[in-house]
Amino acid sequence: MIKPVGSDTLKPLFVYDPDAHHALQHEAETLPSVIISSQAAGNAVMLGAGYFSPLAGFMTVADAVSVAQTMRLTDGRFFPVPLLCLIHDLSAIGSARRIALRDPNVEGNPVLAIMDVTAIEEVSAELMTLMTEQVYRTQDAAHPGVAAFNSQGQYAISGPIQVLNFSYFQTDFPDTFRTAVEIRNEIAERGWQRVVAFQTRNPMHLAHEELCHMAMQRLNCDGLVIHMLLGKLKPGDIPAPVRDASIRKMVELYFPPNSAMVTGYGFDMLYAGPREAVLHAYFRQNMGATHFIIGRDHAGVGDYYGAFDAQTIFDELPANALQIEIFKADHTAYSKKLNRVVMMCEAPDHTKDDFVLLSGTRVRELLGSGIAPPPEFSRPEVAQILMDYYQSLD
């Protein structure tokens, strides 16, 4: 199986030993504590689950700035985006060197992790601007990732953490949320050697489904891991439970047995385009995938990124940064000429009118009116789940 990034073994930060876990839970109630941002909570979950292995915790400002500029920490290790724990107010923790990090997304704000504080630093506006520009390629506050990153606070608390729970992801999505450790174990149990991962924050229509089949066939893969984001999205995106149900129905009906796993991870979407694509590849290698599909405008939003910027950034990575191989895909759509889904770049004799193309706005209008998109666009069983959701909003 492919090795994790930068190590021979995965290094999850969740405390699995029951006695140690119980002792830390008890200790946490005696420690100074702070409610962290949703973005920091997602980072803690990903650290706990092994996706960000071999990192040991939250970055210092120097490391975060170095990562933003070079995709390397100050010690030379590769990582694509800053992992900061930013807060507005230090009064609750003062100068404490061991603190509890509390979950902003669960009622009662339970302890998510314990941190050994190595530094408490004020982050200047200039450095926030620098990191924002490098990671998001814009400073536009209308960009949802930029807005979230810059709203967390001006104080960075850094240090190694011990993770005590997986926030709401494990309870709300018990059949879908999986740690990198669990996915690696399941890949091994299934006997898969070549595994392609597919990232999604949306339901999967026919073009997505066929893209996965295409990648598996061309890469000679044993299995596919459909790995959906379960955290916070921008307003208007379809909620995770609806996406989960529609994707599971698609796999049940249209994939052979033991060919696809439906899983999810606990993280808030960054919408950082190219940089987030690299982050996606990083943690897919950690979960055991040997290949990863990067499509048109991967992890993008609006018009902030070029259509294929999330592919070309992999040509700019430091040498040997990642072992996972990228399957670069173009937009896929149903060809009326060929009566099948194709990559549009592989049909040079086609015009736009030769494809079945629907905008997201048009699809939402149809679903909201109880009208299924054409079968060349969406499987009817998937469309029914989405129609039920949109009509429930009325």
CATH class of 174-392: alpha beta
**DSSP label at 53?**
T
What percent of the chain clears pLDDT 90, i.e. is strictly above it? 88
With a CB cutoff of 8 Å and minimum separation 6, the contacts of 378 are 205, 206, 363, 372, 386
Q: What gap in Å lies between CA 71 and CA 321, rounded to an integer?
A: 10
CATH 3.40.50.620 in the chain, residue ranges: 174-392
Q: What gap in Å lies between CA 165 and CA 96, rounded to an integer?
A: 22
Whether pLDDT at 237 is above 90 = no
CATH 3.10.400.10 in the chain, residue ranges: 18-170
Least Cα distance to 343 among 330, 356, 361, 334 occurs for 330
What CATH architecture is 18-170? Roll (3.10)
Least Cα distance to 242 among 45, 42, 366, 383 occurs for 383
Q: Tell me if residue 98 is catalytic.
A: no
Q: What gap in Å lies between CA 118 and CA 102, rounded to an integer?
A: 18
At residue 236, the pLDDT reads: 74
- Give residue-wise pLDDT tens across range 208-219: 999 999 999 999
Q: Tell me if residue 202 is catalytic.
A: yes
What is the token pair recorded at 330?
């173009």
Angle in degrees, CA 228, 199, 348, rounded to 5 = 140
Least Cα distance to 305 among 137, 134, 82 occurs for 137
Whether pLDDT at 201 is above 90 = no
**DSSP label at 118?**
-
Whether pLDDT at 50 is above 90 = yes
User: Which of the residues 190, 201, 248, 364 is marked catalytic?
Assistant: 201
Ranges 38-47, 223-232, 384-393, most confident: 38-47
pTM (2 decimals)? 0.94
240 forms bridges with which residues in the sheet? none
Q: What gap in Å lies between CA 373 and CA 363, rounded to an integer?
A: 7
With a CB cutoff of 8 Å and minimum separation 6, the contacts of 342 are 332, 333, 335
**Beta-carbon count within 10 A of 183 CB:** 25
User: Which of the residues 72, 77, 109, 202 is marked catalytic?
Assistant: 202
At residue 80, the pLDDT reads: 97
Whether pLDDT at 285 is above 80 = yes
- Give residue-wise pLDDT tens across range 149-176: 999 999 999 999 999 999 999 999 999 9
Q: What DSSP element (H or E) covers 322?
A: none
Angle in degrees, CA 303, 305, 307, rounded to 5 = 95
Q: What gap in Å lies between CA 210 and CA 376, rounded to an integer?
A: 11
At residue 391, the pLDDT reads: 86
At residue 286, the pLDDT reads: 98
Q: How far is Cα of residue 51 from the mean position of the Cα atoms in its chain? A: 10
- Give residue-wise pLDDT tens across range 78-104: 999 999 999 999 999 998 999 999 999
What is the token pair recorded at 276?
């987030």
